Structure 1
Amino acid sequence: MRRRIAFPGVLITLTLGIGAGAVASATPAAALEPDLDNPQVVATGLTVPWGLGFLPDGSALVAERNSARVLQLRPGAAPATVATVNGVAPAGEAGLLGLAVSPTFAQDRYVYVYFTAATDNRIARFRLDAPQNQAVILSGLAKASIHDGGRIAFGPDGMLYAGVGDAGNTANSQNPQSRNGKILRMRPDGGVPASGNPFPGSLVYSLGHRNVQGLAWDAQGRMYASEFGQNTWDEVNHIVAGGNYGWPTVEGRAADARFRDPIVVWTTAEASPSGATIDGTTLYVAALRGQRMWSVPLDGAGGAGTPVPLLRGRYGRLRTAERAPDGSLWITTSNRDGRGSPVAADDRVIRFPARASSDGEA
């Protein structure tokens, strides 16, 4: 089935490139569902590509968990290292994790990263034209070799959101004084927003999370998050300010008035849901242990229909899914993370173009 997906875009004109670049413009067009039968391998030989974000010129930045490198990717070109993040201490699930490009990149050229340091998890930012100057905007998040969270993304309100894991200490998730086991909402400089956060003076936006790995918003500004369960249920949640999602009291659905139930649950064998992105009314979720991408139809009211598995077993463990400005869908594999079975080309970044419409429009 072919479906037309509206994608709002604006004309962006800026100076591109790392040094003196050419001036170019990018206008994201209306997009169609991704053509999963026509993959384009953008990069091979990477080691646990984790965070992925797009620059206004359409190129991508990807963060490698273990090497602390940020690479710039363009289809048909070799990856180029544009930054190495200082102080990254990879171990287990920890390392250089999420990456987000500033929504005002044309003016400030900021790139944001979430990473594990020697003593904590942190968020830092740097200008792409001066990557050696890295400023930590948030620190003190408890770290561990598991459950570090790590996904960061700018919401439609211009605020930076971060999924922070419980760091293996389940009590963190229900402790309002802890920033672990939470989704945080902050200004681009790391400060508490003047309005919109549910707890005065706190970055905490929602609580009761085990290990959020994906953040995405629909066209109406509703927020969704994918999250690892423990032994039984993985989930997707519709996130609201101040919502309590139940961990560790609840795993999956409980119909307990104290907590918000997930809108989707999977067994842990078919999911381990990581990165997420929304294209029109479809939420795409990359699955690690499940080795597939889930297509989740959103119902327009904060709920979801029946998920459909895509790419099952085709590329192994999938870490990240992101929609590009041109309407294509990009994924990263995670077969060299110590839990996969890598092939010679792993890890890979793969692009699926937008499917051509029947009337020839793109």
Structure 2
Amino acid sequence: MLLAGCTGGDGGGPTGSTTLPETSEVRVPDVAERLELQLSIPWSAVFLPDGTAIISERDTARLKAVPAGGGGRETINLGEVPGVSAAGEGGLLGLALSPGFASDRYLYMYFTAQEDNRIARAGVQETGDGGLSLDRPEVIFTGIPKANTHNGGRIRFGPDGFLYVGTGDSQRRNQPQDPDALGGKILRLTADGGPAPGNPFGNAVYSLGHRNVQGLAWDSAGRLWASEFGPDVNDELNLIVSGGNYGWPAVTGAPRRPEFQDAKVVWPSTSESSPSGLEIVGSTAYLGALRGQRLWTVPLAGEEAGTPVGHFTRQYGRIRDVIRTPEGGFWLLTNNENPDSVLVLPPLP
């Protein structure tokens, strides 16, 4: 792999695409509570309209619900998602709630099956005793390549009502630059699993040239940002544009080659980041870091990003996902396997 002449970064700390004044630095509240829910590698979480949280566990393929107002100490086992084949980085991964959940009750899930990665949806129903049950999942999209690593897995509905899907290259280096392949992409789908109208290549692909997309979020202007694992250098935060080519495997980082989109933030050392779940609030991006074992905040200014600032460095271990709570704070999902916990941050000041 010949990347030395075309990667961004100089081996120093993380760099943004622009320099913002120091007053733009964001203060992050201290962790108010640590929920010990006996979780096993939680990968994603969503909040239902009533405040109930649903969490996916990667290796067990279980969905667990944490009732609103229950003190966060009890969980409801919604059951094991059928067809999940967990191994390596694959298993039950991202979750997304339908924009029309109030009427359709759909929970969407991305998971690794025996032959591929796929997306399914299932109705979440209220039971007579005030609990929840899960309908049998309906698979709506298949064929995303799988491997022991680089499975992607983040899914999220955008402001346009379409489902965005981050995939990995599944160790197949020919996939990311092929607009007809599903690996190494961000996909854009209808709620029923078809290619969204207006996609740049006439299929499900929205952007290409990705190595392993892990986080998706939109800023207040409706711009899509994505976090992405680099190889042994150059983790990235990218501003995603329709049809954009983000360079992998030819380049990483911000090499300023006109045929590729430069990353807006580059972490030259992947030991500092391996950015996973992503949220954006106001003009700040919040990213969980796995190898870096911290929460990164990144100031945003339109289409540019400033210098990242780390928080909770190596205090809580690997942070897989960052989820905005209905109260305006955050949940951070840890992935330390002993067992894992949920870190609760109070609402931002």
TM-score past 0.5 threshold? yes
| Alignment check: 8 A CA contact 1:151 1:162 kept | yes
Deviation at 1:35, TM superposition (A): 5.5
Specify the alignment match of 2:285 in structure 1: 283
The 5-angstrom pairing of residues 298-317 of structure 1 reads 298-299=300-301, 301-317=302-318
Residue type of the alignment partner of 2:187: L
Deviations 1:228-251 (A, max 9, x none): 000111000000000000000001
Structure 1 residue 82 displacement after superposition? 1.7
1:83–1:132 CA contact under 8 A, matched in 2 = no
C-alpha distance in structure 2 between counterparts of 1:324 and 1:154, whole Å: 17
Offset at residue 83 of structure 1 (A): 3.4
Q: Cα deviation per residue 1:72-100 (whole Å; 9 max; x = unaligned)?
A: 12443311112321110100000000001
Mapping 1:331-350, distance limit 5 Å? 331-336=332-337, 342=338, 346-350=339-343
Structure 1 partner of 2:41: 48
Contact 1:43 1:350 in 2 (8 A): no
Partner amino acid, structure 2, of 1:88: V
The residue that corresponds to 1:190 in the other structure is: 193
Gaps of 5+ in 1: 1-32, 337-341, 358-362
Equivalent residue of 2:261, what SS? Answer: coil
The amino acid of 2:118's aligned partner reads R
| CA-to-aligned-CA distance 1:105-143 (integer Å, 9 cap, x gap) | 101000000000011100000000162421001001111
Contact in 1 for aligned 2:37/2:73 (Cα 8 Å): no
Correspondence for 1:352: 345
**Equivalent residue number for residue 121 of structure 1:** 117
**Residue 70 of structure 1 corresponds to which residue in structure 2?**
63
Query: Which among 12, 15, 30 is matched to residue 37 of structure 1?
Result: 30
Verify the 8 A CA contact 1:99 1:153 in the aligned structure 2. Answer: yes
2:164 counterpart letter in structure 1: Y
State the identity %.
Answer: 50
Q: Which runs of 5+ in 2 are unaligned?
A: 1-25, 126-132
User: What does residue 246 of structure 1 align with?
Assistant: 247
Query: 1:35, 1:171 → 2: CA distance?
Result: 41
Structure 2 letter corresponding to 1:104: G
Cα distance in structure 1, aligned partners of 2:189 and 2:148? 25
- For the residues of structure 2 that align with 1:250 and 1:89, how far apart are their CA atoms? 32
Partner amino acid, structure 1, of 2:197: A
Return the offset for 1:194.
2.5
Q: 1:230 to 1:126 in 2, by over 3 A?
A: same
* One-letter code aligned to 1:233: N
Normalised to the residue count of structure 2, the TM-score between the two structures is 0.87
SS at match of 1:153: strand
CA distance in 1, matches of 2:178, 2:171: 14
The aligned runs of 1:44-193 (5 Å cut-off) are 44-74=37-67, 75-129=71-125, 131-193=134-196
> Helix, strand or coil for the counterpart of 1:44?
strand
The structural deviation recorded for 1:34 is 7.9
**Relative CO higher for 1 or 2, CA cutoff 8 Å, sep ≥ 6?**
2
How many pairs are equivalent?
A: 313
Pair 52,218 (structure 1): closer, same or farther in 2 beyond 3 Å: same
Matched AA of 1:327: G
Q: Distance in 1 between matches of 2:318 and 2:241?
A: 29
Q: Secondary structure at the match of 1:298?
A: strand
Q: Which residue of 1 aligns with 2:231?
A: 230
Structure 1 consecutive aligned stretches of length 4 or more whose deviation exceeds 6 Å = none
User: 1:34/1:97 Cα in 2 relative to 1: closer, same or farther (>3 Å)?
Assistant: farther
